[in-house]
Structure 1
């Protein structure tokens, strides 16, 4: 399976101009997305899946209203998209995670999932690091979900 993964990431890398894109010896790929935002892609051999993870906010979160809003958003993100917010148990940093299957063996499908995860992470990273309170607007999220554009799901814009 590792050979297939390397082939898929190499194909993606060639298309986006990053020759040699692949997992390291620990089955991990670290991608810098923008200032203070990065993601990891981790191959999990025991489940034959990839785990996408992005640390969205480097400040520990103990804001109950923010956590409640993120948990409500999880209902929509996990329904059909498989993404969810979580807290790192060691740091209380807010993460966005997604388990990704490669059973279709398509680098195009993997690239689409990666791009969607990156754009969603970037939007939520910006929002969570803003000084404005996190206010959810579920009327906005309904139209966003219908258009399969949930990068700003539930955010008042």
Structure 2
């Protein structure tokens, strides 16, 4: 067991320093600083749990095991698809939280119209995430989206 001592940033202006202790178990022979870096690289499951609890698991539907089991399965599938979409969108979306991806990539303020049987995509003219969304479209579909409207 390795215990790492870190100054607590919340108590910077106190007379005596306040320390937080982070214990972790390891079976490696690495020094403490390298073992801590390795431990933090492998501890991504906590962010996954936080992302699921902030999203779909905040609203478990029922007190019944079967309904909750189905809900958890659907939320895991949706989480994996959302993470894949974030990676395909590129840039800063590869490491973004699920709520950020839902707000920037999934909730697209666009409209698809088909005048004269030609698809036209109406995207906002100054939408800040258009480059990431177009990268996601190109990486999943393989060709450019329908031409944007000029209005």
User: Could you state the TM-score of these two structures normalised by the residue count of structure 1?
Assistant: 0.29
Higher relative contact order (CA 8 A, sep 6+): 1
TM-score by length of 2: 0.30
For the pair shown, the structure with the greater C-alpha radius of gyration is 2
Q: Whose strand proportion is higher, 1 or 2?
A: 1
